[in-house]
Structure 1
Amino acid sequence: MNVYLREELHYRTDLNYYLFGPVRPWNNQNDHTGENLRKAIAENPFLHLMIQSGYYDGACDYFNAKYSLWQLDPSGKLKDRLSWEGYRSGHMMYLRKPDLEAATESLRKFIKASLPKPGNRLSTRNGESVNRRLIFHKNLFSAGPIGPAVFLSV
């Protein structure tokens, strides 16, 4: 990036452009986020997960997102509730209009598909009914980011 700024754009500065901020070293001690999510999906048949990521995301690459999904469900038993969508953009998928439109439509379909059928009520273990909610979580896994957008429907 620094070469591009100086040589292509002819922008001169003494400051360096850092692609990644000074966030290292990560402290992953006692980080069980991935395993906690895997258990939650396995135990709750109403929990659905969709991950959206850009192919050109340098911070949360799409392959880590797919790899994390494989690790959540190596047997394939939960595959009908896990989904991944990739887009021809980077970390901020909404900046490329076709990806914004596609991601929005994918999210609409995800929400619609994850809603219970009429007459099916969600309930807790003691029988109380539960309100459904959509959870947006950015960079759910600190040990290996799975993408810029993670949606859980419960």
Structure 2
Amino acid sequence: MSAILGPYTAAMNHYVRLELGFESDLPYEILSGRVRPWSYKEFENKHVRVSDTLRRAIHQNPHLKVLVASGYFDFATPYHAARHTLDHLQLDPSLRGNVRETFYEAGHMMYVHLPSLKQQAADLAAFLAWAAPPHPGTEVI
């Protein structure tokens, strides 16, 4: 974590300030005391479940598309847990195609593994082209 914390923070600050034009004097916080400890009060003594919220969101907006990217060696959010959630999402059959999955030979931060980074970039481009195709008459940059 210490090897990537500085470069990750610098890249994020560069992106939001220079490329997106977001201006703020507030620092970008990564895993500092200001963003931790997280509160899991609503999930005390039970598993954290997001499947009901995701199912409701897709049913309310049938145009919503979801990409789940998983690293095979992710010990923070194991891909089998995501697979289990998606397998039990109880989506209307007509909406099951709204969810796509990709898998990488990496861990939690697959973008620090160069082959996974390259594959994920291609997968994200393909997902965006599928999920949000350009409108006729618009220029793709």
Confirm or deny a common fold (TM above 0.5): yes
Q: What is the Cα deviation at residue 66 of structure 1?
A: 1.0
Q: What is the Cα deviation at residue 41 of structure 1?
A: 0.3
Matched residues in 1 for 2:133 and 2:62: separation? 11
Tell me the residue number matched to 1:152.
Answer: none
- Are residue 70 (structure 1) and residue 70 (structure 2) matched? no
- Counterparts of residues 25-64 of structure 1 (less than 5 Å): 26-27=40-41, 28=43, 33-64=50-81
Tell me the residue number matched to 2:119.
Answer: 102
Change (3 A) 1:116 1:64: same
* Aligned residue-pair number: 98
Q: What is the Cα deviation at residue 33 of structure 1?
A: 3.5
Relative to the length of structure 2, the TM-score reads: 0.58
Q: What is the Cα deviation at residue 72 of structure 1?
A: 1.8
Identity %: 29
Q: Which has the higher helix share?
A: 2
Aligned residue for 2:66, secondary structure, equals strand
Aligned residue for 1:77, secondary structure, equals helix
Tell me the residue number matched to 1:6.
Answer: none
Give the greater-gyration-radius structure (CA).
1
Q: CA RMSD in A?
A: 3.0
Q: Which has the higher strand share?
A: 1
Aligned residue for 1:53, secondary structure, equals strand
Q: What is the Cα deviation at residue 78 of structure 1?
A: 1.9
| Structure 1: gaps (5+ residues) | 1-22, 120-154
Tell me the residue number matched to 1:8.
Answer: none
- Are residue 81 (structure 1) and residue 118 (structure 2) matched? no
